[in-house]
Structure 1
């Protein structure tokens, strides 16, 4: 027994030592998201977190193509990004006005971006466009639910489909690939989801399913591109030349942010939803963007932008890759216990609200101009 206790103590000490070193950054393996001199397409980059992401990418030396619908906001965002350029004399900036909810528009923006980028498809594509219309699900129209799915799932799915095909099968008209035996740096396709995809709650049901769908797409594509990455190392010759680069699929999960968009959300948000998220942390747009870039530079597959999003991420990992084996594994054990208390507490608040306020009147959907 004494020997068993001895080895248990040794293992515990080693575990604590490794965890401490990991937390202090001793196991850092450098920047996994190099953007200097590379071209980035960023949708939803004209305001909110996207505008700050554009600034941070500019500070790191990236060439930027910002995509949104409003031309005036796009012009302002480009000037804002330019003013923070690391290499003002060599960095290039461009904007494209497009409705990313349209498959044809995604085709067009990718073609225009490639032409502007001297005939080369951009190396990094970040699908950041999205918007939330919180309300009770029964009060939302089917039209609104479809719009939420279009903006928060299909906009990303269209862009991912077009981009991955262009990267991997360059015979597409707008993405010819020069033959080269030299390996290139990894390409990145990044999706901005939301912490709501880990746990949906009352008030976000018109919005949440689209973000859950996006997370499912990301998980599936992360594994699917491994086939193409593996094909690069294959000795078997086929009729299709493999790409000279690996592809990384990654996802970012922001929580509540102090943005104009968040203020619009509050106009349609049910009273019970304010109660459920009363104690949730709020971030500035810059803080969320900074956390997103930091996670990508660390090579994370899932990047949360604040501590609550990270707790929710850890609790929902399932079979997904661990960005930090120790923290994510131990954290999943702990959060499974925490949810024994948090889940019933949230359910209880909704039940008690109904008991206190009675049967709600079914109101017509509240339309907010955006």
Structure 2
């Protein structure tokens, strides 16, 4: 009898564990990111990864609004994206804006909301970014400030205005008692956020800051999502949860990569020599696949996955098994990878000598 009690207890614990994992989404195979019929606002959408995302979202039935500065590129991109539409009822739009400005982010979201029949888009993707690599001492401080503006502040400005509109909506329909699908705010960071190297001191810190703000927002939104289920709240909440995701691509074969290669130091090229490269369609497919799984931190290639699990710290786990085992494996691998990367930079200096003195 005692053995039977023990056996039943073990079975119950296993069942509860599986049930808990399923409730948390770890064992769910349901699409966690359905976009058919929804509106997606996408910054940095005129080329590269953004254009690839717009095309794939159109194929999946989304209405797509892309944002960038160059009107001609936006017009060409909208034509390219809309040609991939799943149905004739889908709508496409572009907004020319400088996303490094707080006021411009407020304006573009207002325009997107008006275009979307007075409702804030259900999915907002802060994808705009640009790299200007180079040795730290050779890079003007003003360039570093601009890198922070486009790669960090642009996403923060958009998150600030979007989340306020989602969590405290002004339109009456958003206060419906009918539970609606979650809203998704997505931030495109970079795999360099996990491991920065020589030559990316101007770019990597901004992308690492995006990882940090993503963790903070994901944690903070639990407060609002929990309050939606409370009977004690005096402010009527919106009838949906809000989810945060962060995407960490590596090298993307795009005009942006061609531009950054112009200022990239030879030692950075050497460190990245064996890194995988993805087309805009490949990186878009990997990002969307991760979102459909319900993942929070999405690396788009195998190298990014290894970098992700090796530097997760206190970030939420997408896969309990892979992320735990992967951390153990990569912690050992870094005993060899780290010295090898350090040695490459040291040997480059030994072989080529002192770089020219930076201009004052």
TM-score, structure 1 as length reference: 0.89
Q: Match of 2:353?
A: 358
Q: Name the CA distance, whole Å, in 1 between partners of 2:155 and 2:192.
A: 17
* 1:206 and 2:205 matched: no
Shift of 1:261: 1.1
Shift of 1:178: 4.0
Shift of 1:48: 0.3
Q: Name the CA distance, whole Å, in 1 between partners of 2:129 and 2:335.
A: 32
Q: Name the CA distance, whole Å, in 1 between partners of 2:217 and 2:138.
A: 34
RMSD, aligned α-carbons: 1.6
Q: Match of 2:90?
A: 91
* 1:287 and 2:286 matched: no
Shift of 1:362: 2.3
The one-character-per-residue Cα deviations of 1:297-353 (angstroms, maximum 9, x if unpaired) are 010001111000010001011111111111110000000000111111111111121
Work out whether residues 50 and 128 of structure 1, in 8 Å CA contact, stay in contact via their aligned partners in 2. yes
Shift of 1:176: 5.6
Shift of 1:28: 4.6
Q: Provide the secondary structure at the position in 2 that maps to 1:249.
A: strand
Q: Match of 1:187?
A: 183
Aligned length in residues: 337
348-357 or 224-233, larger mean C-alpha shift: 348-357
The one-character-per-residue Cα deviations of 1:269-307 (angstroms, maximum 9, x if unpaired) are 111111111111111111111100000001000111100
Q: Name the CA distance, whole Å, in 2 between partners of 1:41 and 1:69.
A: 15
Q: Match of 2:23?
A: none
Q: Match of 1:48?
A: 48
Q: Provide the secondary structure at the position in 2 that maps to 1:170.
A: coil
Q: Provide the secondary structure at the position in 2 that maps to 1:125.
A: strand
Q: Match of 2:159?
A: 160
* 1:248 and 2:243 matched: yes
Q: Provide the secondary structure at the position in 1 that maps to 2:72.
A: helix
Q: Name the CA distance, whole Å, in 2 between partners of 1:265 and 1:48.
A: 13
Shift of 1:131: 0.3
User: Which one of 323, 328, 331 corresponds to residue 328 of structure 1?
Assistant: 323
Q: Match of 2:38?
A: 38
Q: Match of 1:106?
A: 105
1:329–1:80 CA distance, 2 compared to 1 (3 A): same
Q: Provide the secondary structure at the position in 1 that maps to 2:124.
A: strand
Shift of 1:363: 4.2
Q: Match of 1:8?
A: none
Q: Match of 2:10?
A: none
Work out whether residues 40 and 123 of structure 1, in 8 Å CA contact, stay in contact via their aligned partners in 2. yes
Work out whether residues 119 and 176 of structure 1, in 8 Å CA contact, stay in contact via their aligned partners in 2. no
Q: Name the CA distance, whole Å, in 2 between partners of 1:362 and 1:54.
A: 44
Shift of 1:237: 3.4
Shift of 1:364: 4.5
* 1:258 and 2:259 matched: no
Show structure 1 runs of 5+ residues with no match.
1-13, 19-25, 366-370
TM-score, structure 2 as length reference: 0.91
244-253 or 347-356, larger mean C-alpha shift: 347-356
The one-character-per-residue Cα deviations of 1:208-234 (angstroms, maximum 9, x if unpaired) are 110011110000000000100001111
What is the correspondence of 1:22-37 to structure 2 with a 5 Å cutoff?
27-37=27-37
Q: Match of 1:311?
A: 306
Work out whether residues 174 and 238 of structure 2, in 8 Å CA contact, stay in contact via their aligned partners in 1. no
Q: Name the CA distance, whole Å, in 2 between partners of 1:146 and 1:268.
A: 17
Q: Provide the secondary structure at the position in 2 that maps to 1:252.
A: strand
Q: Provide the secondary structure at the position in 1 that maps to 2:262.
A: helix
Q: Provide the secondary structure at the position in 1 that maps to 2:94.
A: strand
Work out whether residues 124 and 184 of structure 2, in 8 Å CA contact, stay in contact via their aligned partners in 1. yes
Q: Match of 2:336?
A: 341
Q: Match of 1:81?
A: 81
Shift of 1:30: 1.1
Work out whether residues 120 and 176 of structure 1, in 8 Å CA contact, stay in contact via their aligned partners in 2. no
Work out whether residues 41 and 125 of structure 2, in 8 Å CA contact, stay in contact via their aligned partners in 1. yes
Work out whether residues 40 and 63 of structure 1, in 8 Å CA contact, stay in contact via their aligned partners in 2. yes
Work out whether residues 137 and 358 of structure 2, in 8 Å CA contact, stay in contact via their aligned partners in 1. no
